[in-house]
Chain A
Amino acid sequence: MADKKVFAASALFNTPDAIMAAARRIASSGYTKWDVNTPYPVHGMDGAMDMKPSKLGFVTMFFGLAGIGLALLLMWWTLSVDYPLVIGGKPYFALPAFIPVTFEVTVLMATVFTVVSMFAIFFGLPDNSHPLHDTNYMKKVSCDHFGIIVETSDPNYNEAEVTDLLNSFEPVSTSFIYYREEEKYPILQPRFLMFLASTAIIVSIGTYLMLNKLMFIVPFNWMMEQDKIVAQNSSEFFDDGRGMRLPVEGSVARGFIPYPYIGEANPEEVLANPYLPTKENLDLGQRKFLTYCSPCHGNFGDGDSRLNGQFPNPPTLHSNRARDFSDGLIYHIMTNGQNIMPSYASQVTREERWAIVNYIRVLQRAKSANDSDLELIKNGDSF
């Protein structure tokens, strides 16, 4: 036992009056690293030990205010910024209706953080390896005794003086408390690593099964699998096995005018352009041209896209032949397709196709502009 290092000298008392007197004397003797251990808080001990008032309330205040701020911020951002929604005619930031949640979040944050910071930061707990644990002293103060300790780390600690002082209080008993032998528990033990790995695997498998399997078995899937007809799916209800009904022959969908020259390679007659090249119309044409036409024909219709050389080269739209096409013929080519170019009727609507025609006309005019056109621009005249 001789090689054990002393942590503190201790004395035990069996009345609250005795411990109060002892605590007062120790406090006035100038020791700083000492403590009183009692099975319950003894009234007036804070004063006897000459302790400053607890600053725990500031932690509570900080986290309480943080709770108010965070709750209001969350509700403001979700209901006024991210997804504004008028509910019951209230404004987006409906403060009175936000009060209950703000209050609850404030209480939650203030209490939980007060307790957690008290134990973790103020006390440095959990700490089951403190020298006091498992001593006879601890067992006594846990039950019905009142103990006092003076730690050896105190700058004024002198074994003889402290022992004399403690004995002068006429305690029930005195003893030395020793540091425990260092015990090492390396974190990276194979067993611990195995535990971590198996936890990770079990959680992963569990999550996978929950989300991808459990939700798709009876009864969890009863919302998904109902006896109703689902669009695009088959059904045994009708003789033809289709879930959806075919439209009556000859019906025309709203907004879709049937194109009369479909399938003709060289139509003898074509449609006339119903759209004027207004600014809006040309903007639309430009957007759609850049999306659907430029990948092959190039941004300016030169046939110089980056597909050039990898593919049968798409033709330029500035050849004399193309310039001589009527609006209706260009519209026909887009609608019907030509050579390797497929029909774009399904991707580009009727109005958009005519807008592209108008835009191609603009490109053609710009690419082969005359000097007189320059004069027109200088004069600010319209074309």
Chain B
Amino acid sequence: MKIDYSIEPPVVQGRLSLKQIEELVAKPMDTRPNKKFYIALSVSLSALLFGAVCLAFSFYYGTGLWGNNQPVAWGFPIVNFVFWVGIGHAGTLISAILFLLRQRWRTGIARFAQAMTIFAVMCAGIFPIIHTGRPWLAGYLMPYPNQHGLWVNFTSPLVWDVFAVSVYFSVSFVFWYTGLIPDFATLRDRTASKIKKAVYSTFSLGWRHSNRHWQHYEKAYVILAGFATPLVLSVHTIVSFDFAVSIMPGWHTTIFPPYFVAGAIFSGFAMVVTVLVFVRKIFDLQNIITIDHLEKMNKVILATGMMVGYAYSMEFFIAWYSGVEVEQFVFINRAFGPYAWAYWIMVSCNVLSPQLFWFRKIRRSVPLMIVIVIFVNIGMWFERFVIVVTSLHRDYLPSSWGYYTPTFYDLGILLGSFGLFFTLVILFTKMLPVVSISEIKAVADGAQPSHHGGEHNG
């Protein structure tokens, strides 16, 4: 088969006109939600409520309801925190890094991925705060002049984390909102409802699609993408410092920052694909979020999956090569100790299952794709479980070894975080344009002047 690589497939398929694109994207906002929407929402709200009740019990009776105890003091809250922060990374990668790399196929999925970043970071933010035991005193994490005369310890990775995650959330939100402003203006000008118009006018800030504005706006978009790129790399690097800066065998390794970032992108892409395949089907966006886009995302999953696999094997190699006995013990214990089941779930889900994406047919098959990305999601959750729990449960002192088991409440709060995430995603799909209207119009066929080279940045 001869393939001409000089011609890219069109970003928007089906030769849609600008108006058709707009109508397609705005349709969920123009129509009343149907029965399926309410069913989906009630399922996710039930999960959220379940988690909220478990959390309320934890607040009332204290964190003793959880499985965390010496020697595994970190347990589920930190596992879930790292998992959710990682999910968020794909959104910034798609919206910022792929934008800087001029990957035009990102346009169809960027808005959605950015929204997922924001929701995932919201889910992540809950866990370290509840893990402190008294979340109502979380304000102490911020440096502010107080009557105790105390300041936070700026040299501690845990404080870096506070800064990294809160800045990540703020910048992602600003980036997302900046992208939404022209769309709010478009929605404002197409709606007939007075209330909707008032809301959209407020959020559009009175945007006029002026080219004197577009000029600065595009500049700002590049600047935001330029800052979001090192930011997203820094966030999971700093999360990995929580582990790597300690002297715990199995944590104290220099491979952690790149390994965590690769893992974050891996899990984030898997989550984006998981949700997107449903969204494009339900909202009839197959022409905007095309199978080509999904295939490209699956390629990223394959690549990052192999990076993660490389990191797993390199950890073992360094443990052997370093000659440090406890380090060697920790890794042998990881693979063949009491938590071997978790380790092998992780390896088979993260390293083996994405290998199927070598086959073009599988990359382009929606049902198989769903199965694989869900495996990846499970595997990446177990990766964090393995890192946190297996290192802690058998440290230097054999007399304090233990076996960590999560309790009912731990599982309930994890379920609740998924409930929160999907509730926000479901509400988002119905309330805001899931695809950037102005960006997708700009990459449609014939949207750019022909004498200017047209597809010049393809």
Chain A residues near B (Cβ < 8 Å):
15-17, 20, 23, 35-46, 49, 51, 54, 56-57, 60, 74-75, 78-79, 82-83, 85, 87-88, 90, 94, 97-98, 100-101, 103-105, 107-108, 110-112, 114-115, 118-119, 122-123, 125-130, 132-133, 138-139, 141-144, 214-215, 218-220, 222-223
Q: Which residues of B contact A54 (CB under 8 A)?
A: 215-216, 219
Known: A56-B223, A125-B205. Contact between A143 and B154, CB under 8 A? no
Report if B150 contacts A (CB, 8 A).
yes
Flag whether B452 is at the interface (Cβ < 8 A): yes
Please tell me if the beta carbons of B452 and A107 are within 8 angstroms of each other in the complex.
no
| Contact of A133 with B206 in the complex, beta carbons under 8 Å | yes
Min CB gap A7→B, angstroms: 12
Q: A45-B214, A79-B153 are in contact. List 12 more A-B contacts (CB 8 A).
A: A39-B186, A40-B439, A43-B449, A46-B211, A54-B216, A94-B155, A107-B230, A107-B231, A115-B224, A127-B206, A142-B185, A222-B62
Given contacts A54-B219, A133-B206, A98 and B155 within 8 Å (CB-CB):
yes
**Chain B residues with CB below 8 A from A141, complex form:** 209
Is residue B448 contacting chain A, with contact meaning CB distance below 8 A? Answer: yes
Produce 1/0 per residue, B178-197, CB < 8 A to A.
10011001101110000000
Residue from A75, A90, A128, A214 having most chain B Cβ neighbours under 10 A: A128
Q: Given A38-B214, A40-B439, A123-B213, are A74 and B143 also a contact pair (CB < 8 Å)? A: yes
Point out the residue from B60, B223, B450 that lies within 8 Å of A60, measured CB to CB.
B223
CB distance A111 to B224 under 8 Å? yes
Contact B154 A97 (CB under 8 A): yes
Main SS of the interface on chain B?
Answer: helix
Please state if B186 and A114 are interface contacts (CB–CB under 8 Å).
no
Contact B205 A51 (CB under 8 A): no
CB < 8 Å neighbour of A118 from B18, B61, B164, B220: B220
Contacts of B186 in A (CB 8 A): 39, 142-143
Q: How far is the CB of A339 from chain B (nearest CB, A)?
A: 44
A79 B231 Cβ-Cβ under 8 A: no
A128 close to B456 (CB less than 8 A): no
Known: A43-B449, A54-B216, A125-B205. A143 touches B210 (CB 8 A): no
| Given A20-B452, A144-B17: A111 touches B227 (CB 8 Å cut-off) | yes
- Point out the residue from A42, A97, A100 that lies within 8 Å of B163, measured CB to CB: A100
Find B149's partner among A60, A83, A126 (CB 8 Å cutoff): A83
CB distance from B223 to the nearest CB of A (A): 5
Q: Are the C-beta atoms of A78 and B151 separated by less than 8 Å?
A: yes
Contact A98 B154 (CB under 8 A): yes
B-side contacts of A85, CB under 8 Å: 153
Contact indicator per residue, chain B 421-458, by CB within 8 Å of chain A (1) or not (0) = 00000000000000001110110001111111100110
Partner of A37, one of B143, B211, B228: B211
Shortest distance between the CB of B256 and any CB in chain A (Å): 14
List the one stretch of B167-175, B340-348, B373-381 in contact with chain A: B167-175
Kindly state the separation between the CA atoms of A36 and B214 in the bound complex, as whole angstroms.
10
Known: A35-B212, A112-B174, A143-B19. A40 touches B441 (CB 8 A): yes
Say yes or no: A39 contacts B150, CB within 8 Å: no
Knowing A16-B448, A54-B215, A79-B154 touch, does A110 contact B59 (C-beta < 8 A)? no
- B160 contacts the other chain (Cβ, under 8 Å)? yes
B208 touches which of A41, A45, A138 (Cβ 8 Å):
A138
Q: Is the CB of A142 within 8 A of B212?
A: no
* Set B150, B151, B205: member contacting A126, Cβ < 8 A: B205
Separation of A132 and B227 alpha carbons in the complex (Å):
34
Separation of A151 and B190 alpha carbons in the complex (Å) = 25
Closest to B454 in A: A43
A45 to chain B: which residues have CB within 8 Å? 211, 214-215
- Residues of A within 8 Å of B218, CB to CB, are 41
Asked if A41 and B217 make an inter-chain contact with CB atoms under 8 angstroms apart, the answer reads yes
A301 to chain B, nearest CB (A): 40
**Chain B residues near A222 (CB-CB < 8 A):** 62
- B149 surroundings in chain A (CB, below 8 A): 82-83
Chain A interface main SS type: helix
Q: A98 to B214: give the CA distance in the assembly, Å.
A: 37
Chain B residues near A15 (CB-CB < 8 A): 446
> A97 contacts B155, CB within 8 Å?
yes
Q: Which residues of B contact A (CB under 8 A)?
A: 17-19, 22, 59-62, 134, 136, 143, 149-151, 153-157, 159-160, 163-164, 167, 170-171, 174-175, 178, 181-182, 185-186, 188-190, 201-202, 205-220, 223-224, 227-228, 230-231, 234, 238, 241, 437-439, 441-442, 446-453, 456-457
Say whether, besides A43-B452, A115-B224, A219-B62, A143 and B18 are in contact (CB < 8 Å): yes
Contacts of A126 in B (CB 8 A): 202, 205-206
A13 to B228, CA, bound (A): 36
Task: Please give, as numbers and ranges, the residues of chain B lying within 8 Å of A108 by CB-CB distance.
Answer: 167, 170-171
A83/B208 contact (C-beta < 8 A), A40-B447, A112-B174 known: no
Contact call A44/B171, Cβ cutoff below 8 A: no
Closest to B457 in A: A43
A126 to B202, CA, bound (A): 8
Q: Are A143 and B190 in contact (CB under 8 A)?
A: yes
A19 shortest CB reach to chain B, Å: 8
Q: Which residues of B contact A82 (CB under 8 A)?
A: 149, 151
Contact status B211-A49, CB under 8 Å: yes
Alpha-carbon distance A60/B223, docked complex (angstroms):
8
How far is B446's CA from A100's CA once the two chains are assembled, in angstroms? 45
Which residues of A have CB within 8 Å of B451? 17, 20
Nearest-neighbour CB distance to chain B for A113, whole angstroms, equals 10
A136 (CB) vs chain B CBs: closest residue: B189
Q: Which residues of B contact A38 (CB under 8 A)?
A: 209, 211, 214
List the 8 closest A-B pairs by CB distance, nearest first: A144-B18, A142-B189, A97-B155, A40-B442, A78-B151, A126-B205, A100-B160, A36-B211
CB distance from B65 to the nearest CB of A (A): 12
21 contacts between A and B (CB under 8 A): A20-B449, A37-B211, A40-B442, A41-B215, A46-B215, A54-B216, A74-B143, A82-B151, A98-B155, A100-B157, A105-B167, A110-B227, A118-B216, A118-B217, A126-B206, A127-B206, A133-B206, A133-B208, A143-B189, A143-B190, A220-B134
- A115 is contacted by which of B60, B178, B212 (Cβ under 8 Å)? B178
**Other-chain contact of A111, B18, B174, B202 (Cβ < 8 Å):** B174
A220 and B136: CB pair below 8 A? Answer: yes
Determine the residue in chain B with the shortest Cβ distance to A19. B449
Nearest CB of A to B451, in Å: 7
Taking a contact as CB atoms closer than 8 A, the residue among A60, A79, A139 that contacts B190 in the complex is: A139
A233 to B230, CA, bound (A): 57
Beta-carbon contact of A42 and B19 below 8 Å? no
Q: Are A128 and B447 in contact (CB under 8 A)?
A: no
Contact B163 A87 (CB under 8 A): no
Q: How far is the CB of A157 from chain B (nearest CB, A)?
A: 17
Point out the residues of chain A lying under 8 angstroms from B17, CB to CB. Answer: 144
Tell me the complex Cα distance, A125–B212, Å.
13
Report how far A345 CA is from B386 CA in the complex, Å: 65
Measured CB to CB, the closest approach of chain A to B317, in angstroms, equals 28
Chain B residues with Cβ under 8 A from A46's Cβ?
211, 215
Kindly identify which residue among A75, A132, A215, A219 contacts B154, using a CB–CB cutoff of 8 Å: A75
CB distance from A38 to the nearest CB of B (A): 6
Which residues of A lie under 8 Å from residue B438 when comparing CB positions?
Answer: 39-41
A188 to B185, CA, bound (A): 30
Closest approach, in angstroms, between the C-beta of B347 and any C-beta of chain A?
31
Given B164, B208, B211, B228, which contacts A100 in the complex, CB threshold below 8 Å? B164
Whether the Cβ atoms of B190 and A132 lie closer than 8 Å is: no
Q: Are A41 and B216 in contact, with the CB atoms below 8 A?
A: no
